[in-house]
Amino acid sequence: MVFGKHFIGDVKAPVEKALKCLLEVNPTLGFIESHKVVYKRTGKSDKVILISGGGSGHEPAHAAFIGDGMLDVVVAGDIYASPSAAQILVGLEAIERSKGTLMIVKNYTGDKLNFGLAAQKARAKGDVSVVFVNDDASLDAESLVGRRGLAGTVFVHKAAGAAAAHGLQLSEVTRIAQKVSDNLATVAVSLDRCSVPGRTDQEGLPAGEIEYGLGIHNEPGVLRTGISDLQTTVSKVLSYLLSSSSPISLNPSDQIAVMINNMGGLSILELNVIAEEVFQQVSKTNHGFKILRKYIGPFMTSLDGPGFSVTLLKLDDETIKLLDEPTNAPAWPKQFDLSHDEPVESRISRYSAPEKPAYSSKNHLIVTPEILTQVASAILKRIQKEEPTITKYDSIVGDGDCGTTLLKGATAIHEAFQNNKVDTTDISTVFESISEIVEINMGGTSGAIYGIFLNALVNNLRMVDGGNGLKSVFQQSLSGALQELCTYTLARKGHRTLMDTLIPFVETFEKTGDLKKAVAEGAKGCEDTKKMEAKLGRASYVNAEQLERDGGVVDPGALGLKCILEVLEEELAA
């Protein structure tokens, strides 16, 4: 992460601009720009009004939780700064509040003081209640400032909002909000601090360290330690949530909701992997908790913080019903009917491959299986050695996955030989098995090219007459496979792809029958890619300066195939 590097580093009033954007896509919202107040213009007003807010930088909290069945008014401060009492008072006047107002406030000093002052002033014009949320399980409740309010606050928004939508009195809505707040616990962990727009001299965590117990304002956590595997990290988070000092006490067989919150900087893929591990560990603890509701996504972020938080909410029938009530608040996740929920494992099916057509081996194609096993092992060793280089080149000219994709395929092929999973009836069945392994384990363009070529090679091997020996069969079959491949790809020699290795190799072997010469021509074609302009693939999007730096960058796909062919020639020669 590069701290301070932002598209909006020079933008004046970024909070106001971000809030105005909400109005672009949501016609139900109004905005008092001078005081950074966003409010619901439509819907019922003869109800308890819910108001929340705080410093900005936690999006989608809080304004994206405005909607029927959730919040009515949100007051935003500057990034990580509480709104003033004057702002909050304007927010209180944004909507008629004949049945009173509930303030939902995170337990931070600035928020408590400013919302508290506004509440005192507003009580002259109507009933105002305040619920403070302090769900941070990493801090000691006995400290002077108490626990911080974190992502669990959104659960309070939802339950109280649903209660207010049903027309309950302020005292009842307040009771429900307080009950939910009292049954929450949240802990966060992050790989690094977030980057604050416009702020210089920002300091991140040392490489190789993570931090547990962070707040949502870039403040330090309670424990900094070395990065461990995901299982250990999740286990540590849960240890805080389930400790004796946690704000909630869970008993065996308690029903809970679990929220996995993206703190802003994690990819959806990474967050889902983390969430799956959390669900597995919570379900398999010896506490016997039953997870009735699961929520994954960005709920309360810390700008682009590369971390996540886990919230546990103890449920009762009332809370479950309120969580399930509909809302059109944009940031609340879509709910599915869980009344007939079946275990995940029971919904995972296993693919069974159809039976292959009967095939009779051809004598001229029969080879010694031990030789093939030895070749597969040698190819794996070479790819393991070259993978960092291939990945480095692909990170410059592509998407950085060429080396790992090739290694994954080579590893799977080697393991298949070691476990007798390759059909060694003859060389065509060997390549048929390898093509199936490639199709399953190698994605992307290179995987598709290898797959098409190998399948075409199998078909050609079985069609070509073997009267002139195995070398002649391969000369014709490789040529035929290349022709078929060229009907599916526009890549040719000179286009800076793996075809710059494959085409000269096949053409030379077809003409000469000399494997050593053919591999040498393929290697030359690979080396020539350093000087080529990319015309196909992701490298075609890269500017010429990047391709030409350090004397030129070899095409990673061409390099990977070159390594395979060189090992093949060495092993067969031996």
Average pLDDT, stretch 392-417?
91
pLDDT tier for residue 541 given thresholds of 50, 70 and 90: very low
pLDDT at 283: 85
Domains of the chain: 14-194+208-324 (3.40.50.10440), 369-573 (1.25.40.340)
Which residue is listed with tokens 């393929």? 522
Encode pLDDT of 78-99 as tens digits: 999 999 999 999 999 999 888 9
Close Cβ partners of 184 (under 8 Å, ≥ 6 residues apart):
133, 135, 152, 155, 156, 247, 248, 311, 312, 313
> What's the CA gap between 57 and 62, in Å, rounded?
10
Whether the upstream peptide bond of residue 27 has omega within 30° of 0, thus cis, is no
> What's the CA gap between 45 and 96, in Å, rounded?
6
217 is annotated as an active-site residue: yes
For residues 76 and 36, is the Cβ–Cβ distance under 8 A? yes
pLDDT at 43: 65
Residue type, 465: D
Q: How many CA atoms lie within 13 A of 73 on its CB side?
A: 25
CB atoms within 10 A of CB 5: 9
Encode pLDDT of 222-253 as tens digits: 999 999 999 999 999 999 999 988 999 988 88
Catalytic residue among 35, 217, 414, 495: 217
> What's the CA gap between 525 and 508, in Å, rounded?
12
Close Cβ partners of 470 (under 8 Å, ≥ 6 residues apart):
364, 365, 427
pLDDT tier for residue 498 given thresholds of 50, 70 and 90: very high
Closest CA to 435 of 356, 538, 517, 382: 356
Annotated binding site for substrate: 55-58, 106, 111
Annotated binding site: 55-58, 106, 111
pLDDT at 59 over 80: yes
CA dihedral 287, 291, 297, 298 (to 10 degrees): -60
Average pLDDT, stretch 184-197?
94
- Longest CA–CA separation in the chain, Å: 103
CA angle 540, 545, 548 (to 5 degrees): 85
Q: How many CA atoms lie within 13 A of 372 on its CB side?
A: 24
pLDDT > 70 in the chain, percent:
94
pLDDT at 2: 67
Please tell me which residue, 74 or 364, carries the higher pLDDT value.
Answer: 74
Please say whether the dihedral angle defined by the alpha carbons of residues 132, 138, 141 and 145, taken in this order, is positive or negative.
negative
Closest CA to 100 of 92, 110, 111, 90: 92
The mean predicted confidence, pLDDT, of the chain is 91
pLDDT at 538: 46
pLDDT at 368: 87
